[in-house]
Amino acid sequence: MTSDVVLRKDKSGNGSPALKPPGTGRPPLWRSALRWESGLVLVLIAVLGYGSAKSSTFTDPSTVFYLGINTGYIAIMALPMTFVIMTGEIDLSVASMLGLSGATVGYLWHHGWSIWPAFAAALLVGLVGGALNGFLVARVGLPSIAVTIGTLTLFRGLAEIMLGALIVPAPGDAQFPDWLQNIGAESIPGTQLSWSLAIFIVLAVVFGVVLHGSRLGRSMVAIGLQPEAAEFAGVRVKRIKFWLFVLSGGLSAFAGILLAMQNASVSYGAGTGLELNVVAIVLFGGVSIFGGRGTIPGVVLSVAIFGSLQMALTQINVSAEKQNIVTGVLLLISVIVPNLGEVSARLRSRLRRAQPALTGSTARSDAAPPPPNPRRKATS
- Residue 43 to residue 37: CA distance in whole angstroms: 10
The helix (run of H) or strand (run of E) holding residue 8 is: strand 5-9
**Residues 99 and 271: beta-carbon distance below 8 Å:** yes
Say how far apart CA 180 and CA 200 lie, in whole Å.
Answer: 17
CA-CA distance, 311 to 193, in Å (whole number)?
15
In the 8-state DSSP scheme, what is residue 214?
S
The 8-class DSSP code of residue 11 comes to: T
Side chain identity at residue 14, one-letter code? N
Please give the backbone phi and psi of residue 241, each rounded to the nearest 5 degrees, phi first.
-60, -40
Give the highest mean pLDDT range of 30-34, 258-262, 342-346.
258-262
Q: What are the tens digits of pLDDT across the range 7-44?
A: 344 444 444 444 444 444 555 544 544 588 888 999 99
What burial class does residue 119 get, using C-beta atoms within 10 Å of its C-beta: 0-12 exposed, 13-18 middle, 19+ buried?
Answer: buried
Angle at CA of residue 330, ends 327 and 335, nearest 5°? 125
Number of alpha helices (DSSP H) and beta strands (DSSP E) in the chain? 16, 2
The number of CA neighbours under 13 Å toward the Cβ of 192 is 9
- Angstrom distance (rounded) from CA 284 to CA 259: 24
Give the Cα separation of 286 and 292 in Å (integer). 11
Upstream peptide bond of 370 is cis (omega within 30 degrees of 0): no
Domains along the chain with CATH numbers: 36-336 (1.10.3470)
Least confident of 129-133, 336-340, 363-367: 363-367
Decide: 98 and 271 in contact? Cβ < 8 Å.
yes
CB proximity list for 378: less than 8 A, separation 6 or greater: none
**Residue 310 near residue 70 (C-beta atoms within 8 A):** yes
Indicate the pLDDT class of residue 367, thresholds 50, 70 and 90: low
Tell me the average pLDDT of the chain.
83
Residue of 220, 205, 180, 213 whose CA lies nearest to 87: 220
What gap in Å lies between CA 78 and CA 87, rounded to an integer?
14
Rounded to whole angstroms, what are the CA distances from 378 to 370, 371, 373, 375? 18, 15, 9, 5
Tell me the CA distances in angstroms from 189 to 59, 65, 202, 264, one per residue in order.
20, 12, 17, 20
Amino acid at 161: I
83-111 pLDDT, tens per residue? 999 999 999 999 999 999 999 999 999 98
pLDDT tens digits for 289-336? 888 889 999 999 999 999 999 899 988 888 888 888 887 888 788 777
Q: How many CA atoms lie within 13 A of 188 on its CB side?
A: 11
The SS3 call for residue 35 is coil
The predicted model scores a pTM of 0.81
Stated as kind and residue range, the H or E segment containing 18 is strand 15-19
Kindly report, residue by residue over 160-171, the tens digit of the pLDDT.
Answer: 999 888 888 888
318-to-49, 63, 69 alpha-carbon distances in Å: 17, 17, 19
What pLDDT was estimated at residue 251? 96
Residue-level pLDDT at 39: 87
